[in-house]
Amino acid sequence: MTTSPVGREIDRVDGRLKVTGAAQYSGDYPAPDTAYAHVVTSTIARGTIRGIDTAAALAAPGVLRVYAAEDTRLSLYPVADPYRGLAESYLPLRDTTVRFHGQAIAMVVAESVEQARDAAALVTATYDAQPPRASLADGPRVPSGPTLTGSPSQVTILAPGVESIDEALAASDVVVEAEFEQPMQHHVAMEPHAVLAVWDGDQVTVHAGAQIPSAYALVLSQRLGVLPPQVRLIGRYVGGGFGARVVLYSDAPLAAAAARELGRPVRLTLTREQMFTLTGHRSQVTQTLGLGASRDGVLNAVSHGSVAQMPAIGGFTMTPAHATSDTLYPTPNLHIDPRQVILDLPISRAMRGPNEAPGAFALETAMDELAVATGVDPVELRLRNYATATPTTGRPWSSKHLDECYRDGARRFGWSARSATPRARVDGQWLFGTGMATAVYPATRHPASVRIRLLDDDTAVVSTATSDLGTGAWTMVAVAGADALGIPLERVTPEIGDSDLPQGAPAVGSSATHSTVPLIVGAARDTIAELKRRAVTDSGSPWHGTNAEDLRYERGSLHANGRSMTFGQLLTALGSRGVDATASAPAGAPAGYAYHSFGAHFCEVRVNRLTGETRVTRFTTVADVGRVINVRAARSQIVGGVVFGIGHALLEHNPLEPDTGRLAASTLADYLVPVNADIPDIDVHLLDRPDPLLTGPIGDDGGEVGTRSLGARGLGEIGTVGSAAAVGNAVFNATGIRVRDLPITLDKLL
């Protein structure tokens, strides 16, 4: 009997390849006669290039080409709607306009990495510079565009007879009003952005990390002015993305266009410093929260305004109240007003928990302040404001067990031993404190396709062009395939990370798993149906002429008329190498419901009362994410998200020089992220409650093939949402100091 791998502790199927160095990342692929590129970036943030001197670089050893703005040899083209948002709004090296500090203005191609780098240092530019707009005070605050779901980002809901949100706040017994600031944050994925472009006639294969391989290839085809079938993207192993590998930046078009012009492969790898400006960031945002409540803590009014950076070249529209203040807590009066300021900055992009992480920091910190003001325990306060339907739409949730997350998390963490009085627990120089916060993240299903092929050696191949950013997608595809087919995991080969495969779910928005797994179940159903059809119609089959409905598939074998054969034995008898089918589905889930994952964070910190040094000593997260496919990978994802939140709370900051528009901490020596010594053991508990509305398709026998009522939701980002607030709330409990501008550094606690 085959035991399903779903919901178990499964080692990553790609783990051995990664730890032995056999897994090929974008910078590892070989190609004969490869040339190497290095980009030169601008040293001003706004203005025009007066001239670029390339003579010394062209004379340097090994140099093949120097492309400098304005250069038409690369033949790059604009991207058309509806894909314009998946690329930069300008063509690299095609004009002399400088739009931000660190923009690519030239590129050197040479015989070696070192020759290209050294020659690039010889390129000099002169500018007609203008003062950059680099501060939220440098422009008008214009309304933000629609949310990610397309709904209006501005929302006002008032109770009957209430004229304004200010009136509702003024009428409340207890009012908390505060402003929160969060600086720009960067993805800083472990793997640098590297591209290898290889042309074969009019076909180009590009090796690069991409979170949406199919879209990446399509947008690149438009940039290069070729048809989509002429571009193939391969990125089987990706060393982190977090939103930085969603869109097409300058690196791939420049490398591919140079390879076409040179007639040989070109590899371009961005430096760490270049990644800070050329591959996106989370925008700086200021938020203003107003909470009005009764004396026992029941909300009467919520006002959530924000002002975020929007680069003049375009970027991610930040609406931090989306999926936080408009989702978590019911209130008769709600006002949401996100705004943005157009600035001369590098492109902004989504970053893990793109709206929800900054939004939850503000909302969950304000809720902690409300708990202090009312004297209600923070957990109890949230239970008193528990939403059974979405506050803005009134739709019920497909599945919600957030109350269980609160109670289970409090028990596991030992919350009952907490003192609500700041500075109540002291051990020598250290002040100890505890805090908690809520996590919420939408569960969005994207269009996708999956192909399953059964082979004559009794193995199966599950193919879909999704991407694995280290999240465990390789293993997820294999686990779901083994479960759906009822065969051992080791007999399933996953294929992902290649745009030539069936269009995969985007590895964005914590959506790849619950977009992909139902289609794996569907592809298994259809492949088994095709196997049965072949069994009754092919003269080489022992069941030739039998009614297909009399055949029963179970655990990799067909059974009928007192005879059994594995699918491999049957295919061998038919002289067939394999049989396959593809299942596809559009975006969306059953209408009439809201789909979210939920969680609760509990944190303990110690703060040195003499130096302000802050250390996280304990952290517990309980998450409600539907059915868990692979417990080991799921727990790892939650831990990673919490580490993100700790970094946001305590470390990450890249100061922007307002006079120059330069990001001053664009190296991993200056832009601090958590390391092992900063992180305690993180206790993660997953409720594993299947979402009844997110199930696999029904089989042709009236029952479900493979996984029963799967009900998986995404979890890649839920750990990041609210975890920074839990840290900040614990710091307040330890010190009595409320820090509303991140990161919480030593000087703010002294």
Residues designated as active site = 717
| Residue whose tokens read 């990370």 | 497
Instruction: Say if residues 267 and 193 touch (Cβ distance below 8 Å).
Output: no
Q: What is the DSSP letter of 489?
A: G
Instruction: Say if residues 361 and 560 touch (Cβ distance below 8 Å).
Output: no
How far apart are the C-alpha atoms of 47 and 53, rounded to whole Å? 17
Question: What is the rounded end-to-end Cα distance, in angstroms, of the chain?
Answer: 63
Partners of 435 in the β-ladder: 603
Instruction: Say if residues 155 and 143 touch (Cβ distance below 8 Å).
Output: no
Helix or strand or coil: residue 634? helix
Helices 567-574 and 512-537 pack at an angle, to 10 degrees, of: 50
Burial of 175 (0-12, 13-18, 19+ CB in 10 A): middle
Q: Where are the alpha helices (DSSP H) in 489-630?
A: 512-537, 567-574
How far apart are the C-alpha atoms of 635 and 341, rounded to whole Å? 38
Give CA torsion, residues 12, 15, 16, 18, to 10 deg.
Answer: 160
Q: What is the DSSP letter of 729?
A: H
How far apart are the C-alpha atoms of 422 and 537, rounded to whole Å? 77
Q: Which of 221, 239, 238, 222 is nearest to 230 (CA)?
A: 221
364: which residues sit within 8 A by CB, 6+ positions away?
437, 438, 722, 725, 726, 729
How far apart are the C-alpha atoms of 587 and 503, rounded to whole Å? 13
Q: Which of 175, 294, 192 is nearest to 241 (CA)?
A: 192
How far apart are the C-alpha atoms of 87 and 248, rounded to whole Å? 5
How far apart are the C-alpha atoms of 257 and 730, rounded to whole Å? 52
Pairing of strands 492-495, 460-463: parallel
DSSP E strands in 91-217: the ranges are 97-98, 104-110, 124-129, 142-143, 155-157, 174-182, 194-200, 203-207
Pairing of strands 155-157, 47-53: unpaired
Helices (H) and strands (E) in the chain, counts: 15, 28
How far apart are the C-alpha atoms of 162 and 406, rounded to whole Å? 33
Task: Lay out the sheet containing 47-53: strands in order across.
Answer: 97-98, 47-53, 124-129
For 191-247, give the secondary structure using H, E and C: CCCEEEEEEECCEEEEECCCCCHHHHHHHHHHHHCCCHHHEEEECCCCCCCCCCCCC
Instruction: Say if residues 736 and 423 touch (Cβ distance below 8 Å).
Output: yes
| Residue whose tokens read 């591959």 | 279
Helix or strand or coil: residue 322? coil
User: What are the two backbone dihedrals, phi and then psi, of residue 622, each rounded to the nearest 5 degrees?
Assistant: -115, 125
Q: Which of 561, 579, 582 is nearest to 570 (CA)?
A: 579
Q: Which of 318, 284, 283 is nearest to 304 (CA)?
A: 318
Partners of 87 in the β-ladder: 248
Give CA torsion, residues 211, 217, 221, 226, to 10 deg.
Answer: 180
